[in-house]
Amino acid sequence: MKKILYAGLLAGFGIMSGCASPFPMGALYTELKLPVAATANGGERKHGTAECKSVLGLVATGDCSIETAKKNGGISKVSTVDWEGKNVLGIFGEYKLHVYGE
């Protein structure tokens, strides 16, 4: 009886975790490109990125900050920020922040 209860609780938590996600997430595979922000700044279009990685959902490393992406692209005024993520079975994930501006 306890095994059935634990299995039910685990399944319930798994189902609910998808609802709590701030972005769409696939149970087997996720590959997304989503907007984060846009400003009225226009002009020259430089591009900078910042990257993070995740392994087994246990270890995550990297710096996906806007400041790092600005520095990597030589950007002083941000016009748009986009986010990109790829995750396979929760085993390996790659995440990138793209910053555009002048």
Domain residue ranges in the chain: 26-101
* Integer Cα distance of 46 and 8 in angstroms: 50
Q: What is the pLDDT of residue 28?
A: 83
* Integer Cα distance of 53 and 93 in angstroms: 6
Q: What is the pTM of this model?
A: 0.70
Burial profile 84-96: b = 16 or more Cβ within 10 angstroms, e = fewer:
ebebeeeeebebb
* Integer Cα distance of 79 and 60 in angstroms: 28
Backbone angles phi, psi at 29, to 5 degrees: -150, 140
Q: What is the pLDDT of residue 9?
A: 47
Summarize pLDDT for 10-44 with one digit per residue, the tens. Answer: 555 554 454 555 656 677 888 888 778 777 777 66
Summarize pLDDT for 56-95 with one digit per residue, the tens. Answer: 888 999 999 999 999 999 999 999 999 999 988 888 999 9
